Structure 1
Amino acid sequence: MSSISRGRGLAATMAGTAALAAVLAACTPPPSEGGGGEGGGGGEVAEGCEDYAPFIEMGDLQDTEVSVYTTITGDEATAQEASYEEYERCTGTDIVYEANDEFEAQIAVRIQSGSAPDIAYIPQPGLLQRLVKDFPDAILPASEEVAANVDEFFTEEWREYGTVDGTLYGSPLGANAKSFVWYSPSMFAEAGYEIPTTWDELIALSDRIVAEHPDTKPWCVGIASGDATGWPATDWLEDVVLRTAGPDVYDQWYTHEIPFDDPQVVEALDTAGEILRNPDYVNGGLGDVSSIATTAWDAGGFPILDGSCWMHRAANFYGVNWQQAQEGVEIAEDGDVFAFYLPGATADEKPMLGGGEFVVSFEERPEVQAFHAFLASDVWANDKAEVSNAGWVSANSGLDVELLQSPIDRLASEILASDEYTFRFDASDLMPGPVGAGSFWTGMTNWLSDPSTSSEQVLSDIEGSWPAS
């Protein structure tokens, strides 16, 4: 199940996107003569289309069509389509957008039946790996133009997630940064609290809140998400594995080079439990520890607004949820809510957990390869930022972060594009489906619902569910 389809990605962007897209459509002039050029080598670049010249030069794009298949629906789909409008005007290519909540199952069916789209947005590196291996001749290796853009605008970690057996197939598209802690800047200021820069400082801050504010709790958490209940708890464990065991062990864990219940993972879950299973720490404004499992993930941070909770660990995309709790909530360093980086073991260790989508192509036609190169470029990233509301970021280093609509998105984008932070993709999205979107979710839910369940037992049960091949 994809990040977006289970609410982990760009969850429910604000309705203003649709209005903005309509304004852009009304203001967009018709294609200029020769905008897509003539002949196999592209043609004349129309006035105002200079940014799109590299793509126009890739072939005769005028009056062509490219089909796109994705999981991205709703208001975010409106923003996606709006981000292609200038490209369509300048190249003469019509982008036909199709989104499906059943993408993960249907993309394989479409490939197998010979009806694959021209372009697909793959929501998980694990799914990309499986598709390339199951259908070795279907997904094309990235073109020289796409590879050049990936090398220029993305870190090596992001390139690797789009690579299968040494060959680059997928270029990064959107992204999210999960290693954040939401808080109330005014509450912190009034109490004299500073942002922690290490894990030990985070625990010390939690203890100080317990001692100084006995009518509140340091943390509020919710992991209920319908059939996907438990996924926010998997993010907690993934974040802590990165901080206690390190990125190399994290890689060995999700690839099953070490067992799911390796002692280092048990230690990480116990460390997460120092917060999540601590009745002194949770669940501010919501109940006791067991209430975590029944509190909706998108409402888990709301008690911060009434002062009954101080901190909520969630991704940058959580920002779109605050308006559900209270109209007019301001996200800013001096606003109603903001977020700080979930610290590592030391101030110098900076792992970042996140997710995103990857663009792959199934056709060699010039218009398909040109559009793929556009999506891997800084041109598209900036076009997309201009039509998106809070909750969308990219790891593209060419993105002008000032175009992003929310300060937390700007912070997330800077971190994702920075070599100072060590990025790792969400492990559950990289694991086999029966584990990453199955036993891992349910195991973490049981661990929080039943205090008698030990970390060793829950991880051992998940290990037992790992497919034999």
Structure 2
Amino acid sequence: MSAPHTGPAPAAAPHRRPRPRTVAVLAGCLILLAAALVAGVRALGQEPTVTLLANWTGTDERDFRDTVLKPFERAHHIHVDYQGSSAESQVLGADVEAGTPPDVVVLTGPGELAAYARQGRLKPLEDLVPRGGFGASWTTALDGHVYWFPLKADLKSIVWYPAGTGGRALAGAAREPGQWCVGMGSGATSGWPGTDWIEDILLQQSGPDAYQRWARGTLPWRSAQVKGAWTTWGRMLGAGGDPDLVRRALKTPYQNASVPVTRTPRGCTLEHQGSFIRTADAWKRADGRYEPSARLIPGARTTGAWEVSGDLVALLHATGEARTLIRYLASADVQRAWNARESGFSVSPAAQSAPAGAGAAWHRSLAATLLDDRAVHCFDASDAMPPSVRDAFAEATIEFLAHPGHLDALLKNLDLLRLAPGLTWLQSVCDRLPGTG
């Protein structure tokens, strides 16, 4: 301890307010110092970090970083090492094989996630996700645990058309294969737009019970219901007919399918696609409106049944940082903020608190349908299937569109895959079935 000062107290210096230039210089130095410290801590690996893999790239990635990740990092002082890839399934598979999987992943396929859960790769989320925060079709239990929840959702049983198109014109266009805007291309996952068609036709023609049995692997591909969905799709799109029409569908990336809507004369009128496509430039310019697909699918008998899809969050490493991120992503505030910037919707009722007049009418209508507890919501069947079946299904739609005469052989092959040992099938893909309450 220092000896106490015994001399006379020094005179107090006169108080002077720092000059603005001095304040600015000091503030700038402090900012630079803080940035240097942050960079130094990261360089030394001392800042808590969580790794995240998702499929958002480009504008979507920037929105996700600005709206979700940066506020998380500021609030929790945890760095998020984000990797965005349109081939996330392949990236995740390679990372798992190498023993370096991310802490948190966002995938579109519950079937793929179920396979990882059965391998012991995923961690249960019951204590991290709000109870009753999402519907049953979004947080399907597996072996008594919940392993995923939706960050974003989309409605799929819809057909888009330009504003000003009357009901008679819509019905007429639906009967003309050339009036459908179709793009089957999607890189390594090409063919999935065709699976959406067949799934939705089966749902509208045969109902949720048949749809769920098929998605669970118990209704054969060669059944009358499933084969009927394929042949209906083939007639609607002119499979095996006009070679130029088929070639256009097979070569067009799904993102560009709607481009002919804005041409003069119009190249196509209708697009069977999920709610996310409404943000495409062509549908913005055409002031796109939507019609429930059941009104345009031949032989449709189901009412109030909707195919849905989503981006699902799962946990692979239950570190403290990763668990904090999971709780954050499942919160109503984050769901609301992300979906206000993204093209999808939140299916958390707590997140739907926008004023009644906010947003476009089509957007409010789609959001209401996703949350309607009187409707039946069935998750995208191919996404719910085991990955080997899902991938073969997508490939088969491309082959069928070009060569519809191969259908029996394609369905036989899919039935053989369905019966392969060791596959993980979800027991439920619909939030409820008619008559079950």
**Aligned 8 A contact 1:290 1:448 in 2:** no
Q: Report SS of the residue matched to 1:181.
A: strand
Query: RCO (CA 8 Å, sep 6+): is it higher in 1 or 2?
Result: 2
What are the ranges of 5 or more consecutive residues in structure 2 without an aligned counterpart? 1-30, 32-45, 422-437
Q: Which residue of 2 aligns with 1:262?
A: 223
Q: Which residue of 1 aligns with 2:25?
A: none
Quote how far apart the aligned CAs of 1:442 are. Answer: 2.8
1:142 equivalent to 2:125? Answer: yes
CA change 1:111–1:234 in 2 (3 A) is closer
| Partners of 2:56 and 2:311 in 1: CA distance | 10
Q: Which residue of 1 aligns with 2:379?
A: 425
Give deviations 1:271-293, integer Å, cap 9, x for gaps: 323412289xx98xx95455433
Amino acid at match of 1:156: A
Q: Which residue of 1 aligns with 2:150?
A: 172
CA change 1:120–1:454 in 2 (3 A) is closer
User: What are the within-5 Å matches in structure 2 for residues 144-293 of structure 1?
Assistant: 144-148=127-131, 151-152=132-133, 154-160=134-140, 163-188=141-166, 193=167, 205-206=171-172, 218-277=179-238, 287-289=244-246, 291-293=248-250
Give deviations 1:382-421, integer Å, cap 9, x for gaps: 22134x25x2322222334759976544443332222233
User: What are the within-5 Å matches in structure 2 for residues 409-420 of structure 1?
Assistant: 409-420=363-374
Q: Report SS of the residue matched to 1:343.
A: helix
**Aligned 8 A contact 1:401 1:414 in 2:** no
**Aligned 8 A contact 2:123 2:317 in 1:** yes
**Aligned 8 A contact 1:361 1:372 in 2:** yes
| Partners of 1:91 and 1:417 in 2: CA distance | 31
Give deviations 1:94-118, integer Å, cap 9, x for gaps: 3332234443244345446553333
| Partners of 1:208 and 1:64 in 2: CA distance | 55
Amino acid at match of 1:460: K
| Partners of 1:467 and 1:347 in 2: CA distance | 30
User: What are the within-5 Å matches in structure 2 for residues 371-450 of structure 1?
Assistant: 371-386=325-340, 388-389=341-342, 391-400=343-352, 402=354, 408-438=362-392, 440-450=393-403
Q: Which residue of 1 aligns with 2:49?
A: 65
| Partners of 2:399 and 2:174 in 1: CA distance | 29
Amino acid at match of 1:337: G
What are the ranges of 5 or more consecutive residues in structure 1 without an aligned counterpart? 1-29, 31-61, 196-201, 211-215, 324-328
Give deviations 1:313-344, integer Å, cap 9, x for gaps: 11122223335xxxxx636xxx6322222126
| Partners of 1:374 and 1:417 in 2: CA distance | 22
Amino acid at match of 1:183: Y
Give deviations 1:33-63, integer Å, cap 9, x for gaps: xxxxxxxxxxxxxxxxxxxxxxxxxxxxx96
CA change 1:75–1:424 in 2 (3 A) is same
Q: Report SS of the residue matched to 1:267.
A: helix
| Partners of 2:244 and 2:181 in 1: CA distance | 9
Q: Which residue of 1 aligns with 2:81?
A: 96
CA change 1:428–1:186 in 2 (3 A) is same
CA change 1:445–1:360 in 2 (3 A) is closer
Quote how far apart the aligned CAs of 1:66 are. Answer: 2.5
1:320 equivalent to 2:279? Answer: yes
| Root-mean-square deviation over aligned CA pairs | 3.4
TM-score normalised to the size of structure 2? Answer: 0.73
Q: Which residue of 2 aligns with 1:299?
A: 256
Quote how far apart the aligned CAs of 1:358 are. Answer: 1.7
Amino acid at match of 2:125: A
TM-score normalised to the size of structure 1? Answer: 0.69
Q: Which residue of 1 aligns with 2:293?
A: 342
**Aligned 8 A contact 1:432 1:467 in 2:** no
Q: Which residue of 2 aligns with 1:351?
A: 305
**Aligned 8 A contact 2:336 2:346 in 1:** no
CA change 1:336–1:72 in 2 (3 A) is closer
Larger Rg: 2
Q: Which residue of 1 aligns with 2:105?
A: 120
Q: Report SS of the residue matched to 2:284.
A: coil
| Partners of 1:357 and 1:336 in 2: CA distance | 26
Q: Report SS of the residue matched to 1:121.
A: strand
CA change 1:347–1:365 in 2 (3 A) is same
Amino acid at match of 1:416: L
Quote how far apart the aligned CAs of 1:181 are. Answer: 0.7
Total equivalences in the alignment = 369
Q: Report SS of the residue matched to 2:51.
A: strand
Give deviations 1:76-97, integer Å, cap 9, x for gaps: 1211111233333233333332
Amino acid at match of 2:397: M
Give deviations 1:434-459, integer Å, cap 9, x for gaps: 33113x223222222135x1644442
